[in-house]
Amino acid sequence: MNFKQSMSRMVAFALALASLTLGPTAFAQAAPRSADDRAIAAPADKARIVLTRKTPAYWKVTLSNPPLNIIGPAEVRELVKILEQIEADQQVKVVVFDSAVPGYFSAHYDLLTPLEESTGMKPGPTGMHPVPDFMVRLSRLPIVTISSIRGRATGIGSELVLATDMRFASREKAVLSQWEVGAGLVAGGGPQSRLPRLTGRGRAIEILIGSDDISGELAERYGYVNRALPDAQLDGFVEALAMRIASFERQAIVDTKRLVDVASLPPEAEMQPIWDAFIASVGRPATQARLKALIDKGLQTPGDVEKHLGRATANYGK
């Protein structure tokens, strides 16, 4: 079985699931994943996300799931375990999120894993599905979080960086987007609540419903990221800022961030309905047709579709 045949089988399976009532336990038992499906995932014994304690006060979380840094149920569980370590530690003051995969911070959520593997995940401590639960808990950490964006931060990659406190992007190499509407989907990780507070309503609608690629330079102008820096300066700038924050007194950081959060973070109650809308959108026949067309063209494999998602969704059906 070649790769496209394997993906077509997964889409057919998703279509069958779509005929059922959506819900966390409503899906039939998933079919085994083929060897071709497994080829795009990291080996089971290899961490897809790496936590590095650079100092007791400064930690780094590196996405390392080549070739596209896809995030699915397995990666969400790894992120949650790392988040639990951050929440439990009383010395850490700043955490930087970055990527070890050239060209990709994270392409998007895993669209080839059977849907029931996502819907069947147990709720997190907030009572929400682990994806919105993780995003809320990340944003509400008492310490500072920073995203260093080189390559594509699209879909859930964009949602992850939006949940961090600060975002710095490579001027030449960063691409951000919420591409989901172009594929008939609703973004599930909370950008509908976060983007308007950062960019304003009109630009948020442009990003979410226009569903096009946003360069690092334009993202800076819109307020999507704090700054877009020349690529050669990105790592040094983020490292210096993180080390500077790590040198400060922790309680002053915690108290200041708590007061900023009151004025700026969206209510937790907004997040679960967004995830529910994403799951509902996956089952619509029109969405399944769009996803099948994109998968047939190469979605979730290295190549032109993933490099230019905005163009690929605009060319749907052509």
Each residue's pLDDT tens digit, 19-41: 333 333 222 223 333 333 333 33
Which CA distances in Å does 111 have to 24, 98, 203, 238, 268? 17, 22, 27, 32, 26
Confidence of residue 45 (pLDDT cuts 50, 70, 90): low
The pLDDT tens digits of the residues spanning 95-134 come to: 999 999 999 999 999 999 999 999 999 999 999 999 999 9
- Residue 44 pLDDT more than 50? no
Query: What residues are paired with 21 via a beta bridge?
Result: none
Predicted pLDDT of residue 22? 35
**At 137, is the secondary structure helix, strand, or coil?**
helix
The pLDDT tens digits of the residues spanning 229-288 come to: 999 999 999 999 999 999 999 999 999 999 999 999 999 999 999 999 999 999 999 999
* Domains identified in the chain and CATH numbers: 3-314 (3.90.226.10)
Confirm if 12 and 31 have CB atoms less than 8 A apart.
Answer: no
Residue 147, Ramachandran bin (φ over 0: left; ψ between -120 and 50: alpha; else beta): beta
Q: What is the pTM of this model?
A: 0.86
**What is the C-alpha separation between 181 and 97, in angstroms, rounded?**
26
Asked if the peptide bond before residue 302 counts as cis, ω within 30 degrees of 0, the response is no
**What is the C-alpha separation between 276 and 281, in angstroms, rounded?**
9
Q: Return the half-sphere exposure (C-beta side, CA atoms, 13 A cut-off) of residue 220.
A: 13
Confirm if 162 and 187 have CB atoms less than 8 A apart.
Answer: no
Q: What is the DSSP letter of 175?
A: E
The pLDDT tens digits of the residues spanning 179-232 come to: 999 999 999 999 999 999 999 999 999 999 999 999 999 999 999 999 999 999
Confidence of residue 318 (pLDDT cuts 50, 70, 90): low
Q: How many CB atoms lie within 10 A of CB 81?
A: 11
**What is the C-alpha separation between 139 and 3, in angstroms, rounded?**
38
- Residue 1 pLDDT more than 80? no
Say how many Å lie between the first and final Cα of the chain, rounded.
26
Residue 90 Cα to chain centre, angstroms: 26
